Structure 1
Amino acid sequence: MEREWQRDEIEEIIADWAREQPATDVSSSRVVVPLRRLAERLDAARTETLAEHGLDQGSLDVLDTLRRAGRPYRLTAGELTRRCRVTAGATTQRVVRLENAGLVRRVREQPDRRTVHVELTPRGSQRLDEAFADVVAADERVLAPLSGTDRKDLERTLRAWLRGARPLSEALG
């Protein structure tokens, strides 16, 4: 019995573009399209899991970053912005939202009060503890189809790629 070969969706995209714009090399789609689709799945799994804990990815970034900073779980607003890799405005919005929920507090350094620290509250630490294991479990479910060897190979490949990639500001400009 002859088996009919079926192309996957990515190969269909490649074939469609080869037909429509034969002079354009779209082989990068073999890497970029799966990455984007997997990123969508990871994002959806995290979004759903975080929502169960009343959080979003931006909130997790702040809480996680403060926790990983170590005791007293406090960073300057500028350092928090740098470590979260967002704008100062985005940091302010996140901190205000988390402060209103009682998960962080802003503390002004004495005596000049110009330096503002953002500090994880006990309630914020508890919320992070409750959410973190569930977030990691959601990530693991998305990674489940990979064997241990495949996962190690992917980790190595992604790290090498990331090391060699231009900074985002250069890539966009």
Structure 2
Amino acid sequence: MSRQTESPPPDHVEQRRSQWRRELPEVDTIGMAVLGRARLATILARGPIERVFARHGLDTGEFDVVSTLLRSGPPYRLRPTELYNALMISSGGLTDRLNRLQKAGLIARRRSEEDARSLLVELTAKGRAVAEAAFREDMALEAQLLEGLTQEERYRLAALLARLVAVVTERSAGQDRDLDRP
């Protein structure tokens, strides 16, 4: 039997679905099968990924900051507002991260040349090296985690998850609008 058609052994999500089929057989639990497994995969991958960041002296939140700065391209600098919008965190949460990263010498805060009242957050040479090394190691680990899937399956799964996120985003926005109505 090929890898593409093999059924994985039953997991705890399938056990729960089986229990629900017994108790409420008319309820479709495919959402649990998809979203439950996506959540489980994320939870299982989180520890190894966090250990990668820790080897580089970072926690996940700090990695998010330095990687956002790195992928912004030269000169690897953003306004704090751009950072916290990109990271979807509060300005207070960002300030704590920036303080730790500055103390570690991974970022510098500089006055904006266009607006003296504004600070820019800039990746230092050390920060760039750490961010790049951590990202490379993280991507190697994530590739290893996906080795059980063929390349075609990886790309198909990525495309399906992107589509799922778009649908969930659209539906969530619609539900939020419905809650705002009197």
Do Structure 1 and Structure 2 share a fold, with TM-score over 0.5? yes
Q: Quick one: structure 1 residues 78 and 167, their matched pair in 2 at CA, closer, same or farther if it must change by over 3 Å?
A: farther
Aligned to 2:109: 106
The RMSD of aligned alpha carbons is: 2.3
Report the AA paired with residue 79 of structure 2.
T
Identity of aligned pairs, percent?
A: 32
- Tell me by how many angstroms 1:131 deviates: 1.6
> After superposition, where does 1:130-141 map in structure 2 within 5 Å?
130-141=133-144
Structure 2: how far apart are the matches of 1:131 and 1:168?
35
8 Å CA contact retained: 1:41, 1:142: no
Aligned to 2:57: 54
1:28 aligns to what SS in structure 2?
A: helix
Aligned to 1:166: 169
Task: Mark the runs of 5 or more structure 2 residues left unpaired by the alignment.
Answer: 1-8, 177-182
Task: Mark the runs of 5 or more structure 1 residues left unpaired by the alignment.
Answer: 1-5
> After superposition, where does 1:49-128 map in structure 2 within 5 Å?
49-110=52-113, 112-128=115-131
- Tell me by how many angstroms 1:155 deviates: 1.4
Q: Quick one: structure 1 residues 115 and 139, their matched pair in 2 at CA, closer, same or farther if it must change by over 3 Å?
A: same
Structure 1 position 26 matched with structure 2 position 29: yes
Structure 2: how far apart are the matches of 1:77 and 1:156?
32
Q: TM-score when scaled to structure 2?
A: 0.81
Q: How many residues align?
A: 168
Structure 1 position 145 matched with structure 2 position 121: no
Q: 2:42 aligned to 16, 23, 39, which one? A: 39
Q: TM-score when scaled to structure 1?
A: 0.85
> After alignment, is 102-111 or 46-55 more displaced?
102-111
Structure 2: how far apart are the matches of 1:153 and 1:110?
46
Q: Quick one: structure 1 residues 8 and 135, their matched pair in 2 at CA, closer, same or farther if it must change by over 3 Å?
A: closer
